[in-house]
Chains A and B, each alone.
Chain A
């Protein structure tokens, strides 16, 4: 089955700096890669996703890049703000198998003033 590794597990940045979180996946058939943000005690919320037919997608301060050859994808947050502090999860999904997402172990992002 699919295996997703996520790094780093914790990330501390100064307000206004950029943050990058990286994930690798094992199944070359995976073709959908969402990123979720989870605040303490709440359910994850989708912040951006990318499909395997594109290499990059951007939404305001958030961008995701995908390298299918290397089987890795990354989340980029620019101009970080204190409200960006949360746990971020990457996930991967392939065809078949019930459309199941496999999640990374999460990155605790802390944006310091």
Chain B
């Protein structure tokens, strides 16, 4: 079954705690993305990676960190510096090419603060 998996589906964070959201894809896509979605708002880009061992900040990177050690995996850490982490987090991937290709999304992780 090809696709993007995100885990866990729900995640609870305590004050001052770092938490890591998992994103795995078996589509052999080069590029991967993390978005944050808040109610009534569109998707906002946190970080993206176009190739292994390289990543760039998106529009709202403060308080987040990522790594891209493997092509299939792009975990996102929500650090204690992110003061308002409650949101729905979406991971996406796409094939890189001259012609623009679709971004495919995972099912999302909902992060809640205790």
Contact A42 B100 (CB under 8 A): no
Interface size on A, residues (CB 8 A): 26
Contact A101 B103 (CB under 8 A): yes
- A86-113 interface bits toward B, Cβ cutoff 8 Å, 1 = contact, 0 = none: 0001000100001111011110000000
A4–B105 alpha-carbon span in the complex (Å): 20
* Neighbour of A31 across the interface among B42, B50, B100, CB < 8 A: B100
Stretch at the interface among A43-51, A54-62, A64-72, A74-82: A43-51
Contact B42 A98 (CB under 8 A): no
Contact B45 A46 (CB under 8 A): no
Q: Which residues of B contact A100 (CB under 8 A)?
A: 45, 48, 58
Contact A89 B43 (CB under 8 A): yes
Contact A99 B94 (CB under 8 A): yes
> Which positions in B face A, CB cutoff 8 Å?
4, 6, 31, 40-45, 48, 50, 56, 58-59, 90, 92, 94, 96, 99-100, 102-108, 110
B67 CB to nearest A CB, Å: 17
Sort A-B residue pairs by CB-CB distance and give the 10 closest, nearest first.
A43-B105, A103-B42, A32-B100, A103-B43, A105-B42, A46-B102, A44-B105, A43-B107, A43-B108, A43-B106
Contact A41 B40 (CB under 8 A): no
